[in-house]
Amino acid sequence: MKKSPLVGAAAALCALLTGCSSDNGSDVSRTERDTAKAYVAALNARDADALAKLGEPGYDGVEKDASEIIATDGGRDLKVKSVQVTHDFGPDVASAHVTATDSRGKPFSTYIQMSRSKDVWVVALGQAPGFGKDGKTPASTSKPQ
């Protein structure tokens, strides 16, 4: 059976459209769970750039935070066992508790804090531009010594 050139063109167009994404790597339809899985994929790939793209665009220190997380937890070939998402502070703030095992069978657990920004779930990395530049520092929660 001979394939029509139209079928081939349609398949190519579909593949092209599926591979496209926005400039900052965000996906409007990405759920909190999808964001947590993308976080783990970036860890497994030791890809600080991919992890940084999950952060809030325009925030200061996102790349630094992403690099530190990759240095600490990256490259462990994590196999996700569960992702539990909670919304303790309203519908636009979430915490994902990820449990996994690494390539040696060692348990791994982390909490990923995220928020909805312009209808996209982003990971809490870095800080808002200008934060702390007024000479004031945030209140400490530690006990005085």
pLDDT tens-digit readout, 129-140: 987 665 555 665
Domain ranges of the chain: 24-123
What is the pLDDT, as a whole number, of residue 30?
Answer: 85
So what's the pLDDT on residue 4? 39
Contact of 111 with 95, CB cutoff 8 Å: yes
In this prediction, residue 10 carries a pLDDT of 31
Return d(Cα 80, Cα 13) in angstroms, integer: 33
Q: Of the candidates 129, 101, 99, 124, which has an alpha carbon nearest to the alpha carbon of residue 35?
A: 124
Side-chain-side CA neighbours of 69 within 13 Å: the count stands at: 28
Range 24-123: architecture per CATH: Roll (3.10)
User: 140: which residues sit within 8 A by CB, 6+ positions away?
Assistant: none
The pLDDT of residue 96: 97
Amino acid 11: pLDDT: 32
Residue segments in the chain with a per-residue pLDDT below the cut of 70: 1-29, 132-145
